[in-house]
Structure 1
Amino acid sequence: MHRSRLSRDIISNLPDELLCHILSFLPTKFAVGTSILSKRWRYLWASVPILDFDDELWLNPSTLVELEERITMFQNFVDGVLHHSEVSCIKKFRLGYRDNNLDSVYSWICIALERRVQELDLHLLIDWGVELPPMFFICKTLVVVKLSCALFLDIPTTVWLPSLKALHLKSVEYSDDDSIQNLLSGCPVLEELVIEREERDNQWVVNVSNPSLKILRIFFFTDGFGHPYEQEDQDYKVVVDAPNLEYLSITDYLSKDYFVKDLPSLVKAFIDVEQDSEEFEESPHNGGISYHGPIYELLGRISNVKCLSLTGVTLDSLSGTIGDYKLPTFHNMTRLEFLFIGGFNWDFLPNFLHSSPNLEALIIETGYTNELIPEGWLMPLQVPACLVLHLKEIEIRRIVGEDYELEAVEYLLKNAEVLQQMTIDCHESSMDQEFCGIEIDPENIKAIVDWTVPTNIHEVANKAFEEIKSKMVNSPILRLPNFEKVFEVAYGASHMGIGVVLSQEGHLVAFFSEKLNEAKKKYSTYDLEFYVVVQAIRH
């Protein structure tokens, strides 16, 4: 009896500081719920420095309580917790709220600021924009701020956030074009900025100027409604002046110009931008030049980057350029990624290889589908210097087996003289998988079988060449199962099909795959993962 009671009380005997730390990982509703465990736990929640309120935990439609009553219960709960909390310095205050009671929201934010909150995370899904209290803009303790939806930023004359290091602005509405820059001007140690925009945010020009900024992410998609004050002579623009920036990510399908000052510290960049040449060519302000030019200019401004990722959408925009534009030379770049690319995007590969003399790693992932399929790949007239001197790693993901893909693979293997590793991941649609193994149509692999071994490649490249041919044309040999040893099951699921592999000690035992019908393609991610597990057990 004594031993049982001792083991049962071992957690309760921990110090208050440790118990409060454990409770800080729970939503505040559940942390307060531990007060019923015993007298020891009754008031512990009041010392937890992290407050996480989310009305979604209260708005459970399965309960018999009316919606308005549940909202009132949530508001009373937040009021009660803030009233009884003994924390004088809140580490994190998170609020997820969907009701239109603006007075309550304003009051809760003020209380958090008065208690020297360090991280403020607001996610408001309400009908009207909430204005932040004036004390927010001069809070000396804020380190992380995340503002999402239904917030209206009217920046005062004085902004001073001396401790703020991370700022996230998602679907926020601004008072004018200068709002973001006026806010940034009062953040002397800001290191990370994330801006997720909507068309109706009152920002024609996003101006990001901050000398301490190291990470910048910009997302800008169309919402289908357009700007309420849209004018023919107005274009969306992005301006960046951050000399210490190390990471830049731009996903932007609406802006027409990118004015980026030199970024001498840039290490990694992700560019996913789309521009419609027909729309721009009809504008009276283009001067006869397609607006793909700004994308080339953007690449020129980040030409000292070490790792560059470009999407198929970006490459499509580059392909329609009118005028004398060419790629800059990426002297520092050692890693290049083409992501979600389609057929004609491969034609840009030689240009980038020539422009990247010190490239060491090349990653190509197919998946972006454009309407036309090229008959072949445009082979470079001269072998790029990086293939001869530096390229050590090549990875091609989700290859289908089109002629232009195979021609590019053959060229890379033939000319990459210092290549150490080449990895090819085949797309599911390129093979007909059966339970007993993989059955490949001989007509589909004839071109691969007929590949001749290049005469001018070194031993490592030659070995890789033959191994790739073997992997692509030969079905795997299945081993009989040994029921005395451990089985390993690996599975994968997409909205095209599912696949399961059974193996022992790295040797294949059995396969199973299934092409999904239209009904199953509509499964959610969770249902799809569950379905493939069920099918794996059945087979």
Structure 2
Amino acid sequence: MGRKSRCGYRSYVCTPKKEAMVTPKKEEDVKPDITKGNRQAAPVPVPAAVVKTPKKEENVTVKDEPSKPNLGCERQTMMDEEQDRISNLSDDVLAHILSFLELRDAFKTMILSKRWEKVWTLTHIINLNNKSCVRRFDQRLSLDKEIRRRTTFINFINGVLFGHNMIFPVKAFTLSYYFGYADFIRYRHSPYIIKWVDAVSTNDLEKFDFSISIDCTFPALNMPPTLFQCQNLVTLSLESINRVLIRFDVLETVYLLSLKYLRLVKVRFEEENTLKNLLSGCPVLEELYMEPGDTGFKSIPHFYFISPSLKKLKWKREEGFRGYFVVKAPKLEHLHFVEHSMLGFSMSVSPSLVSVVMDIGSSFGHHGHISVEKLFQGISNAQKLEWSTHHTFMAKVELDNLPEFCNLTHLKIGSCQDLYFVSSIIQHSPHLKHLIFDKDHFISGPMTWMPPVPVPSCLISHLETVEIIAPEGQTSYEIELILYLLHMGKVLKKMVVTPFSCIDLRRKLWESPKASGCKIVFSDFPAGGTSR
């Protein structure tokens, strides 16, 4: 290294570098010098920093570089894992998943893998519909093709029902079947449907929903007795779409111990005791809906609705039957009764009664008489009442002796032959709060308004809202009724008149004396009505 002297000049001193100890190499490790002929140079000691010993190839380990991930393979692996996750579920879970599909869609899952070949047979809910086999006019389906489709459909159902795995029995069965001309030709007496119903009618069945329609002459079906012995059945629905196709014989053995909902639409009872025996075999029945057909009950003079557990009863029939109705249901809460050709009605008192809809009439097309005492005695505990009568005369003496409707707070009156009924029922409803006149269902006829004497107590202390619906306008008697309510309603808050088009009548209502600060609303004006 160079050093500075005292006089400022730089002097250089050569210092030999220290050489590391070098291990002498073997002769075979020294490569010959081929630059000078064949002469081999003597080995010269070389510093360790300069000498580089080459590594033998067999001692060198080459590490593989990490390869880039293949996204396609990973994605496929994840899909396989997810598929395996579903397939590894238990039979119960898979059967529950398939129960939300129609039977034919569940059947298609058998092609997924070997795991799925028999899973569809384990489902406990079966939904059958043969609409795809129906010949339609726009499709121009030939009769032979329709017969083949129906035969395939029937064979498929036969294989499913009679080959079903009983470890997972059928708990819910829904069948919607349309009878066409092909059924009439090939299966004239339809024995296969009875076999289907009988096959699923076990103690494991919880829901049975059967609907049938037809476009040709076909004998009515008689339900097998095994259907009425399913002790765990909760819901039972039998329906004929366009004509009466289901009939009941005398039901002597009915053991529907768990049935809570019963729906019968256009069914025919052969004897009077059929319905009585049916209801007596349903000890926990809560809801009954009946809509008979035109020829369902012509030969039955009395209908008995006797049930200790019934909470909701709905009967709907507008024509065709002339008979007497008897209702004995101490726990009844909701009654909806539509019958325009009955001869009589009686009902026992139900303390838990909440709502009643009565749309009744006497026998065909002529004025008849119905006992008011028997009619109103059973519904006097109702909180809500909708009342309509058609071609029915109620004597004034009977209307004066109406029972007290102590719990009634909502009253809706539709068609009636005399406004005296309105004044009578208001007089006997001391806690009435809401009153509606729906003239949309009124039958045209002479009506007179006679103010009740004395003034009903509900007008003095409870009546708050009044609504009058008159699509064709108000008559003079109805105007007198409106003015009377305005004049006597001391706690009346709101009156709605709809529709309303007479300007003079509007001015008359505004200028008439009022017992309270009642708000009058005319609903046929823009923006929801004009009020004052």
TM-score with structure 2 setting the length: 0.70
Tell me the distance in 1 between the aligned counterparts of 2:156 and 2:229: 28
SS at match of 2:441: coil
Tell me the distance in 2 between the aligned counterparts of 1:337 and 1:398: 13
Q: CA deviation at 1:266?
A: 1.8
1:175 pairs with 2:270: yes
1:52 pairs with 2:124: no
Question: What's the C-alpha RMSD, in Å, of the aligned pairs?
Answer: 3.6
1:310 pairs with 2:387: yes
Query: Which AA in structure 2 matches 1:68?
Result: I
Asked if 2 retains the 8 angstrom alpha-carbon contact of 1:312 and 1:338, the reply is no
Moved more, 257-266 or 301-310: 257-266
Candidates 371, 374, 378, aligned match of 1:297: 374
1:203 pairs with 2:309: no
Alignment partner, residue 150 of structure 2 = 71
1:9-35 CA-to-partner distances (Å, cap 9, x unmatched) read 989966676665565444433443555
Alignment partner, residue 253 of structure 2 = 158
* CA 384–323 in structure 1, closer or farther in 2 if over 3 Å, else same: closer
Alignment partner, residue 503 of structure 2 = 445
Asked if 1 retains the 8 angstrom alpha-carbon contact of 2:460 and 2:490, the reply is yes
Structural mapping, 1:80-479, within 5 Å: 80-86=159-165, 88-97=168-177, 98=179, 99=183, 100-114=188-202, 116-125=204-213, 127-149=218-240, 150-198=245-293, 199-201=295-297, 202-223=299-320, 236-276=323-363, 291-313=368-390, 316-318=391-393, 321=395, 324-326=398-400, 327-339=402-414, 341=415, 346-372=419-445, 377-397=449-469, 399-404=471-476, 405-426=478-499, 444-459=502-517, 461=518, 464-465=519-520, 468=521
* CA 277–172 in structure 1, closer or farther in 2 if over 3 Å, else same: closer
Q: CA deviation at 1:329?
A: 1.9
* CA 112–410 in structure 1, closer or farther in 2 if over 3 Å, else same: same
Asked if 1 retains the 8 angstrom alpha-carbon contact of 2:203 and 2:233, the reply is no
Tell me the distance in 1 between the aligned counterparts of 2:264 and 2:192: 22
Asked if 1 retains the 8 angstrom alpha-carbon contact of 2:383 and 2:409, the reply is yes
Query: Which AA in structure 1 matches 2:516?
Result: H
* CA 49–396 in structure 1, closer or farther in 2 if over 3 Å, else same: farther
Asked if 2 retains the 8 angstrom alpha-carbon contact of 1:89 and 1:115, the reply is no
Tell me the distance in 2 between the aligned counterparts of 1:164 and 1:89: 19
Asked if 2 retains the 8 angstrom alpha-carbon contact of 1:197 and 1:221, the reply is no
Which ranges of structure 1 fall in alignment gaps of 5 or more residues?
A: 227-234, 281-290, 432-443, 477-500, 502-539
Tell me the distance in 2 between the aligned counterparts of 1:7 and 1:310: 63
Which ranges of structure 2 fall in alignment gaps of 5 or more residues?
A: 1-71
Tell me the distance in 2 between the aligned counterparts of 1:9 and 1:366: 67
* CA 310–402 in structure 1, closer or farther in 2 if over 3 Å, else same: same
SS at match of 1:114: coil
